[in-house]
Structure 1
Amino acid sequence: MTDPQADRVVALEEWKERWQENRIGFHQLHVHEMLKNNINNVLAGRTGVRFFFPLCGKAVDMKWLADMGHSVVGVEISEKGIKQFFEENNLTYSEEPVPAIPGAKVYKSSEKNISLYQCDLYSFSSSIEGRFGAIWDRGSLVAINPKDREKYATLMMSLMDKECRYLLLTFLYNPELYKGPPFFVPNEQVHSLFGDSCDIELLQSVDGLTEKHRGWGLDYLTENAHLIRPKSN
């Protein structure tokens, strides 16, 4: 079956417009249940883990992890989303340019170990902030343009340290019925993207269908949580 979403493109400007117009139905007011349910698998007994949040938005999960003593680095194209994160969580922050990424800014919390980069995700690299011990990908792989998935996976793997545990959320539904985003990402594609250099485990699979999704025309929606770890040499 050819993927009916394969050629779908959402420009960065469209994401910025969504934030400006407050069309951010993807934002959740509470810490994601799949993160809470699987946090022990991600931490694996470690403390002070450095978490990377691709396309972080203003996810409350970032403060939740920082409150537990972990550090967070996020990347988000919307300056409004980043500022709202700090303001809504009553965190003071500083703002400075990022010399290595023209036009980019980094916003840093004064109270918590949280740094959010306002830039195109593909401008970010391990040369900016090193590698990470964990990645929480709640709505990033499912939001990027499907044609960019290999480039995206390469970036994520380049940001993983050898102990990294990458928790990835994907959606299964009939892509003939809804054009996305969030996009349909089959388990087979997760394995084709990451399987050569990483071990992949399906930690949790839940029925995620809500009235909102029925409104999109969907008759089923499954949320899958995958744990991705670099293969030990």
Structure 2
Amino acid sequence: MSAQENRVMALSEWEDRWKEGKIGFHRAQVHKLLEKNLDKVACGRKEIRFFFPLCGKSVDMKWLADMGHTVVGVEISEKGIKQFFEEQDLAYNEEAVPALPGAKLFKSADGKICIYQCDLFQFSSAVAGTFGGIWDRGGLVAINPRDREKYGSLLVSLMNTDCRYLLDTVEYNPELYKGPPFFVSEEDLTNMFGGRCIIELVEAIDSFEERHKSWGLDSLTEKLYLLSPKAQ
């Protein structure tokens, strides 16, 4: 990680990307790795509360809600949140969040999808409880590398004892591209979560695309992990 450890993206830069439409990280279809591995998270459970860190306007939220699950997301960009509800044709309400001054809560009319507009590191279980499932695609890989320990602690604090955390990462040569998305190694995950979670590599796939050439890369591997809390 040494090539990227000093790389810092300010929250304002992420907001600017949304304003300028520079959201190449967004996917218009449900993520194939989530579809394929949802049963590993569900473990036969119904009506799971899912957490989406840095959710953007992920269509995966609507997909899970349509199955009967509930979703809570956190996103800094108000534009991204409003686009989600508008593009999914969902009526929503906007509320203040007493526990988080300056934050807003956008909630679907049926209450199945709630998205908090705030800095992720202001969020906590005191705001919205804990969760039985986490889908992290575009969260950890977007967090500044120097904030990973803080990120890991937050995510663990949001996990129920039976939580299953599905985590999507990318690996490439970090000497060739400064990120984001940032390079995340298995060693990084062990440092972040190994003391508190069982970490299982579910799948590794070649996800190199033409657009990655413009980043200066010649290869990119996507890795999917399943994390579950160790018995305390």
Q: Same fold per TM (> 0.5)?
A: yes
In the other structure, the counterpart of 2:70 is 71
**1:142 alignment partner, SS class:** helix
In the other structure, the counterpart of 1:198 is 197
Between Structure 1 and Structure 2, how many residues are aligned? 232
In the other structure, the counterpart of 1:3 is 2
**Deviation digits for residues 138-196 of structure 1 (CA, Å, limit 9, x no counterpart):** 00100010000000000000000000000011111000100100000001111111010
Identity of aligned residues (%): 61
In the other structure, the counterpart of 1:132 is 131
Conserved? CA contact 1:66–1:112, under 8 Å? no
**2:141 alignment partner, SS class:** coil
2:38, 2:202 → 1: CA distance? 11
In the other structure, the counterpart of 1:107 is 106
In the other structure, the counterpart of 1:228 is 227
Aligned-residue RMSD, C-alpha? 0.8
The one-letter amino acid of 2:34's match is L
Conserved? CA contact 1:42–1:134, under 8 Å? yes
1:219, 1:21 → 2: CA distance? 27
**Given the two structures, how large is their TM-score scaled by the length of structure 1?**
0.98
* TM-aligned CA deviation for residue 3 of structure 1: 1.3
Output aligned runs, 1:81-92, within 5 Å. 81-92=80-91
In the other structure, the counterpart of 1:167 is 166
**Given the two structures, how large is their TM-score scaled by the length of structure 2?**
0.99
**Deviation digits for residues 187-231 of structure 1 (CA, Å, limit 9, x no counterpart):** 111111101011000001000100011221111100000000001
2:225, 2:151 → 1: CA distance? 16
* TM-aligned CA deviation for residue 232 of structure 1: 2.0
1:59, 1:42 → 2: CA distance? 18
Give the 4+ runs in structure 1 shifted more than 2 A. Answer: none
Conserved? CA contact 1:91–1:111, under 8 Å? no
Q: Does 1:43 align with 2:42?
A: yes
Unaligned runs of 5+ in 2: none
In the other structure, the counterpart of 1:217 is 216
